[in-house]
Copies of this chain bind each other. A is one copy, B any other.
Amino acid sequence: MKESWSSLDTFEPNFRPLVVIELAKNTREETREWLTSRIMDKKANGGAQLLVKPLVTESGDQNIYLVGASHFRLLLGAEAVGLVKECTDNSMRTFTYSSRKTFKGFADDNHSFLTMAECQYIIKHELENLRAKDEKIIPGYPQAKLYPGKSIVRRLLTNGILVQIFPLHDQEELKKLRHTWYGRVKIGYQPLDEIRCYFGETIALYFGFLEYFTFALIPMAVIGIPYYVFAWEDYDKYVMFATFNLLWSTVILEVWKRLCAVMTYRWGTLLMKRQFEEPRPGFHGVLGVNPVTGREEPVYSSIRRQLRIYLVSLPFVCLCLYFSLYVMMIYFDLEQWALDYHKESESNFSSLMLFVPSIIYAIVIEIMNRIYRYAAEFLTSWENHRLESSYQNHLILKVLVFNFLNCFASLFYIAFVLFDMKLLRQSLATLLITSQILNQFAEAFLPYWLQKRHKKRMKKKMYSQKTDTDLSLVEQVNLEKEMGTYFGTFDDYLELFLQFGYVSLFSCVYPLAAVFAVLNNITEIYSDALKMCRVYKRPFAEPTANIGVWQLAFETMSVISVVTNCILIGMSPQVNALFPDSKMDLILTVAFVEHMLLAMKFVMAFVIPDKPRDIQIKLARLEFESLEALKQQ
């Protein structure tokens, strides 16, 4: 490989750019040459064996590179990441290059066997696994230390030499996807398989869950409407609604697991083996030996991490929770003040003023949630977790606890301390609707508008007024590299989680919540789709087999909702009337019913299999085959 790589590459006939690497503007020549040669170097020499092409912009800067790979290389990469594909006999199998002929749709000249998202995932995987050999530093940057086995890309990222790596959009495909997804007004399912092909499994699964959850809420919404229309204030009807709600919430979460298994089996991720997890980019520590791999890598003592968690993070979270409760008490003072004002003046204005404290409080809650989010991210990253998954779990736990308290504490207070059902209903409605409006605005329309403005400016700058598909590659890359980065499905799931809380925790005092949730989710599907296609850079596909920790979070919420609903029912005048003589009997009955319901929930969760029978059989068949194959060896 002594010849000039760039000349060699310019003449590569079918170089298809897949991934963009953006280096810092002032990156040294020697660093750039070293990096590109390492990326292009043969696998045998410790390289990634990918194709790299510099993107020459008008300004003449050479800090953007396009990465691609030959078809053969991508197939080998698919084997390395353990991609699972459908065979000609309709079974799903882990792809290997030697058995490539047995896979459906495989032909040596069929370049669409791997979807573009899969190709980009493979390239990302190969780039991240490009490791230092005997380099001690990054050429040109003596402060950027390397050691054998250290991921080069991660070191470049932490040192700021590498600005970003992102996959390119495919304007043609994107246009098609946009059309089937939200291009026409229609009632029907989302094209989940197409979304998965374009954005990968994690995002497709989010949209699948969003859709499923919306459908699952429809029966609740339908049952909820007459409560509003006929002003059913009878508590016996609310009892019916709450009971239905409890069973429903258990059933939908169990059924989701089954649906999820069906989808991810079809997509192949259910069978995909978990890869060994490398340290996350931000992880730092003194150089030591990893006891699992035996490789040299930074080591950070688990005890020091535990100390940071229990002595700093935990007290901080508790402080935040206390602050949130303090703000809540201010809200109740405001509420009282508005009530007094209304009683005094009795005007239209004053009756409007009744809603103001709730609206202000809802806005304050949203703001606090967002500020806390940054603090939680900072703290969790300071805790220095080795694995991305452990980082995510600690972050999710911190954020969930705070958001739960912040959003629902006032409702709990109203329900179980003030016993004011009218105020509860009013607060619930205001909180739910305000937070939905704020979210929709902050999440999709604001970024979309900013993006649109930016795009216009960019286009003007480039003196071109062509439509998207006619953009030249240079223009496309320049546009996309300035787009915002999608930071994963965390916020989207969190929003759904809080919505689920509003709908299920106090469902028996406000059955209309489900209606609002359904309406919100329908627009949410569209705004999230818009966000993915138009606002953000294309994210890398991320294979996944389930919604992970969110399943647990939703199940916990449904357990809490059993408790709250039982208490609310027990507090209702109608149920109280059934026990005129003894309050004690009432409470004991409610407690008994609650325990039975909880026991039933656990039995149901245990009895309903997590995977449908046919998927179970298919998985058993694969396991049997691999056992047989092992015996043959």
A residues sitting closer than 8 Å to B (CB atoms) are: 80, 273, 275-276, 291-294, 302, 563, 583-584, 587-588, 591, 595, 613, 617, 620-621, 623-624, 627, 631
CB distance from A462 to the nearest CB of B (A): 45
> Contact between B623 and A276 (Cβ–Cβ < 8 Å)?
yes
> Contact between A621 and B292 (Cβ–Cβ < 8 Å)?
yes
- How far apart are the CA atoms of A275 and B588 in the complex, in Å? 49
**Cβ-neighbour of A583 out of B584, B620, B631 (below 8 A):** B584
- Residues in B neighbouring A293, C-beta threshold 8 A: 621, 624
Give 15 CB contacts A-B under 8 Å: A80-B631, A276-B623, A276-B624, A276-B627, A291-B621, A292-B621, A292-B624, A302-B613, A563-B595, A583-B583, A584-B584, A584-B587, A587-B587, A587-B591, A591-B591
- Residues in B neighbouring A587, C-beta threshold 8 A: 584, 587-588, 591
- How far apart are the CA atoms of A302 and B609 in the complex, in Å? 14
- How far apart are the CA atoms of A292 and B275 in the complex, in Å? 27
- How far apart are the CA atoms of A613 and B80 in the complex, in Å? 29
* A275, A292, A617 interface centre (most CB from chain B within 10 Å): A292
* A275, A302, A621 interface centre (most CB from chain B within 10 Å): A621
Nearest B residue to A275 via CB reads B627
Kindly report how many copies of this chain are found in the complex they form together.
2
> Contact between A291 and B627 (Cβ–Cβ < 8 Å)?
no
List 8 other contacts, CB 8 Å, given A276-B623, A291-B617, A583-B583: A273-B627, A276-B624, A291-B621, A563-B595, A583-B584, A584-B584, A584-B587, A591-B591
CB distance from A275 to the nearest CB of B (A): 7
- How far apart are the CA atoms of A621 and B631 in the complex, in Å? 24
> Contact between A292 and B617 (Cβ–Cβ < 8 Å)?
yes
CB distance from A397 to the nearest CB of B (A): 11
Q: Is the interface of A mostly helix, strand, loop or mixed?
A: helix
**Shortest beta-carbon contacts, A-B, top 5:** A292-B620, A292-B621, A587-B587, A291-B617, A583-B584
- Residues in B neighbouring A292, C-beta threshold 8 A: 617, 620-621, 624
CB distance from A30 to the nearest CB of B (A): 32
- How far apart are the CA atoms of A621 and B620 in the complex, in Å? 26
- Residues in B neighbouring A591, C-beta threshold 8 A: 587, 591
- Residues in B neighbouring A595, C-beta threshold 8 A: 563
- How far apart are the CA atoms of A587 and B302 in the complex, in Å? 43
Nearest B residue to A291 via CB reads B617
- How far apart are the CA atoms of A276 and B629 in the complex, in Å? 13
- How far apart are the CA atoms of A80 and B276 in the complex, in Å? 28
Nearest B residue to A302 via CB reads B613
Nearest B residue to A556 via CB reads B602
CB distance from A295 to the nearest CB of B (A): 10
- Residues in B neighbouring A275, C-beta threshold 8 A: 627
- Residues in B neighbouring A563, C-beta threshold 8 A: 595
- How far apart are the CA atoms of A615 and B428 in the complex, in Å? 49
- How far apart are the CA atoms of A109 and B112 in the complex, in Å? 58
- Residues in B neighbouring A294, C-beta threshold 8 A: 621
CB distance from A568 to the nearest CB of B (A): 14
Nearest B residue to A622 via CB reads B292
- Residues in B neighbouring A80, C-beta threshold 8 A: 631
- Residues in B neighbouring A584, C-beta threshold 8 A: 583-584, 587
- Residues in B neighbouring A621, C-beta threshold 8 A: 291-294
- How far apart are the CA atoms of A623 and B292 in the complex, in Å? 9
CB distance from A203 to the nearest CB of B (A): 26
- How far apart are the CA atoms of A276 and B621 in the complex, in Å? 10
- How far apart are the CA atoms of A591 and B302 in the complex, in Å? 38
- How far apart are the CA atoms of A583 and B291 in the complex, in Å? 59
CB distance from A149 to the nearest CB of B (A): 13
- How far apart are the CA atoms of A587 and B592 in the complex, in Å? 12
- How far apart are the CA atoms of A631 and B80 in the complex, in Å? 7
- How far apart are the CA atoms of A624 and B292 in the complex, in Å? 7
- How far apart are the CA atoms of A436 and B228 in the complex, in Å? 62
CB distance from A24 to the nearest CB of B (A): 33
- Residues in B neighbouring A623, C-beta threshold 8 A: 276
- How far apart are the CA atoms of A257 and B302 in the complex, in Å? 22
- Residues in B neighbouring A291, C-beta threshold 8 A: 617, 621
CB distance from A335 to the nearest CB of B (A): 25
- How far apart are the CA atoms of A621 and B563 in the complex, in Å? 43
